[in-house]
Amino acid sequence: MQVVFTRGDDDLARVFAGRLDDGAHVEFVESVEPPHPREEKWVLIVSTLRGCPIGCPICDAGGHYRGKLGADEILGQIDYLVRRRFPDGRVPTRKLKIQFARMGDPALNDAVLEVLEVLAERDGMPGLMPCISTIAPAGRDRFFEDLLRIKRERYGGGRFQMQFSVHGTDDLSRRAMVPARTWSLERMAAFGNRFHEPSDRKITLNFAPPRGARLDPGRLAPLFSPERFLVKLTPINPTVAARSAGIEGLIDPDDPETGRAVARRFEELGYETILSIGETAENEIGSNCGMYAARAMAAEGYSKSSR
């Protein structure tokens, strides 16, 4: 992989585009979460597919699908980011979160499982905590069973973060945001109950609700125990796709009270609820939305290798 484009702020977030041997491009990101220094928490966000076949209306990666990445291509993104900061490959960061969530749903690629096995064998990453963020696509039961095994064998004791991208509390609103066959809420909850063990982190139910969407926290309560699941609420990033579809977020990052009002409805049912509103500067950097670097590269040409 050859890194052909980078843009960002080393004190916040930086997005990279890498050109693979077949000419396809992938994006990957490193970020910190102010006021926490990199030594305390460092987040790497890597791609698992060449684009994505799902076509979610708020994601710019849809419509550019060119196949799955191999394990070496996923590890190449991680290794580039690690050795750029730590040339010897040893990362002393207290929490090194590697999130498989940039371009493509990780549950669509079995190579992600191989990468998790490889990372678990590496020395020098005491704070390693992988994060799988998925829509739970239908037909991928084998992937999730293998993931459960790997988590139990390799990443016990709260060293793994599982996140389901739910976005809605009824089938109609979920399909509007995720136009693909996925597990039902009931199936998701049943797997989550098996996946979560007493020493594990709670499983995250992520919602990026659009304005006007029906959001009924009471629909979750009979299925998802607050002892095993928490809720994360995020704004809809200002992607080209979201703007083209005329989708605006229910949670306004410039008016946090809009999010707190939604959060209180989940908290009343006992859910630990995270209102995740990042730095608005990340929207300018482009670290919040997949395929940003590809668009910037097309506009500026490949001659600029840094910015």
pLDDT digits (tens, 9 = 90+) for 80-129: 999 999 999 999 999 999 999 999 999 999 999 999 999 999 999 999 99
Query: CA–CA separation, 63 vs 99, rounded Å?
Result: 22
pLDDT reported for residue 304:
41
Q: Give the dihedral sign, CA 41/296/304/17.
A: positive
Query: CA–CA separation, 59 vs 208, rounded Å?
Result: 12
Tell me, what amino acid is at 129? M
**Tens digits of residue pLDDT in 35-90:** 889 999 999 999 999 988 998 888 888 777 889 999 999 999 999 999 999 999 99
Task: Tally Cβ neighbours within 10 Å of residue 214.
Answer: 11
Strand partners, 133: 163
Q: Domains in the chain, start-ordered, CATH in brackets?
A: 2-300 (3.20.20.70)
- Residues 198-209 as b/e (b if ≥16 CB within 10 A, e otherwise) read eebbbbbbbbbb
pLDDT score of 174 more than 50? yes
- What sections of 155-236 are H helices per DSSP? 171-177, 185-195, 217-220
pLDDT reported for residue 299:
57
Question: Does residue 239 or residue 225 have the better pLDDT?
Answer: 225
The CA-CA-CA angle for residues 31, 36, 38, to 5°, reads 50
**Tens digits of residue pLDDT in 252-294:** 888 888 889 999 999 999 999 999 886 666 666 566 665 555 5
**Residue 294 DSSP SS3:** helix
pLDDT score of 297 more than 70? no
pLDDT score of 305 more than 60? no
Q: By the 8 A CB rule, do 211 and 258 touch? A: no
Global confidence as pTM: 0.92
